[in-house]
Structure 1
Amino acid sequence: MRKWRRPAHTVRLRLTLLYGAMFLLSAVGLLAITNLVGLGGTRVSRSAPPEALPVEPATLAAATDRIAWLQAQLSDTHAAQARQLLIGSALALAVMAVLSLVLGRLIAGRVLRPLRMITAATRRISADNLHERLAAQGPADEVKDLADTIDELLERLENSFAAQRRFVANASHELRTPLATMRASLDVALAKPEPVPVQTAALADRLRTELDQVDRLLEGFLMLARTQHVALTDRTTLSLRHLATDALDARAADITAGNLTVHSAGVVDDSAWTQGNGTLLTRMIDNVIDNAITHNHEGGWIRLAATTDGTTAQLVVETGGRLLDQHQVDRLAQPFQRLGADRTHSGNGSGLGLSIVATIAAAHGGTLDLRARPEGGLRVAISLPAAAVPAEVAA
């Protein structure tokens, strides 16, 4: 059962009550003036001189009785008119109360319409489309000043994001040159004809391993910067089944070395297709498969399934292992987040694999869902907008 929530006190509600109260007070004042004028006019009519009334009786007593009777009739008429006026005023006040609320709501909505447009436009703008602007039209009032201020803020944010991405890309490119020089120097030192001491060879192997790790880290930085900055204009229709099977075939040696068992019965379904950048989608699937192989235990297993419901194409990769904490799993999509070295048999991860997967999926309008399996292990699900199966494939 859905829990009842108290309605929020919105600005429109407050403005509606304020405008409604103003309209209602105006109606009350108008009715009060009308009643005072009406009752005053009736009292004046009672004080009309007796000479204006026709006097038919001849005797003074009969005339006095006639005047008394007319005054009584006039008093009764005045009381009836006063009651009718009060009843009419009460009905008019009730109608005006409802009408005041309706008019107040309409006017409040009219006043807040530019703010609602600004709010809707601001919600559409994210880190991926900071180039968009509100560009509010209208007179130079407080609302337009607010929209212009938000546009200036978006421009500063766009420049900041662009500068950050340029810095990451440029730094990664520049750092690759000294890394290549260091690797070449190691190779030259080890290739000399003189015998190389065992400790020197071990140190060179250790340095080469660390250089490879830094190179993978820089490659991850470049991929993140490219994914966050590139416009996905070169879209092609790709099969999640083909991407997954290609990634498995390319890593057959690693799977054999880890004595891993792959269950890919669900990948035979070739109906899960999507559209996007082929290079980025391939890298995304490769990272997921690499994560499943690297972060596994000796003699473990990997289960893959590619499915679609017509609107969403999904690739699910599951691995076995120990029980994981869901709070820690939720942070794996962030850069440099790991579950610990005890879950990996190689320890060569850079902590950027799943963050790259999440970024590529988001750039294609998809999502990455990470779940700790109740039986132990990890479940990685990538959901992307589904595309129609190409005609040649369907044939």
Structure 2
Amino acid sequence: MSERRSDWRSRIPSVFRSVRFRLSALYSAVVFGLGGLILALVYLAVRWQLTTQTETRLFIRARELQLGQFRFLVNPQMEEAQVRTMESLINQFVLEKLAIYSLIGLGALFVISLVVGWILAGRALAPVDRITQVAREIEVSDLSRRIALEGPDDELTRLGATFDSMLDRLQGAFQSQKRFLADTSHDLRTPLSVIRSNVEVTLDDPQSTIEDWKATGEIVTRNVGKMGSMIEGLLAAARFEAGQATMVAVDLAGLVRGAADDQRAAAADVEVDLQESVEAVEVQGEPLSLGRALGNLVDNAIRVAPPGSKIEMGCGRRQGWVYLAVADDGPGFSGGDGTGLGLGIVEQVTKMHRGAFEIFSDQGATMVMWLPDGSETACPDFDPLRGRPGPMIGFNGPLAL
């Protein structure tokens, strides 16, 4: 039944479904009906007054004449001037009565239409009051309230739906921001803690040698480099978000090979084999941020990959989308795992390229950056390196700094 009603409404032209048309028709019908009623009452009142007040009773008294058994009423002979005077008096009387009843009718019409219009306008604009109330009740810390207007597809319903959609995006952005800040504080605190603990241990040891200080310096240098990489990733994402990045054609195969060359020594240190599986593909993007995101994926894979395993890096095109992917044989991800600052930056860079970041996890994990290649098809939902269907973890919505 509801589907038939919806189909019937959809066939009506949009102009006739609008609030403006409905209010105009409603007010016109109300005023027209009330005006017609008042005029009808005025007409009946004037007619009654004229039929009960004759000219002779008003102005002329007839003379009575009796002839035998018969009695006659004889009107006196009137001159033309007298007739005109009588007509003028009658017209003046009618006009005075009509003016009085018209003023009374117009006054009643004004009061009634004002009251009815107030009630009808309040009912018509009730959705606006609801939108205002919800907007006032929304707080930065709680964006869960929604307007959820119901009714025909008109301007106010579409306004409510647009407002709810905006709240969905804002809520997603704030949640991503909270998660991003939590990941940032955690990941930056780790190298700082390592630096502080090693320096304190060396300082507290009165027998520290130059070799001890050199070892501490290497630890400090390595962790400062990690923090520098994190900060560079944040700055790259911030430049992209601020619109200061230049979009150019990026050779993803060259990007993968460059990242593999940069990370091969680090992978060899933990006895992990770094392999490449690339196709010749290009995409419009910002090369520095894409390179930093890919480097973060490889860093994460090297950190969790067990010795003797392999890490596979790849790029290619599937179903109108291109991808950058890194697969490892580590422990994988569970639903409660945190993504860390590195993967948070990857998520942000992917979303800024209008893409999707997904993690496939079963035995090991495959982290995929899907980037659109001019296609309007939906993002693929499978592991392009190992052929696993369905993502274990999918990230939706832009990540806000």
TM-score, normalised by the number of residues in structure 2: 0.44
Instruction: Tell which structure's C-alpha radius of gyration is larger.
Output: 2
TM-score, normalised by the number of residues in structure 1: 0.45
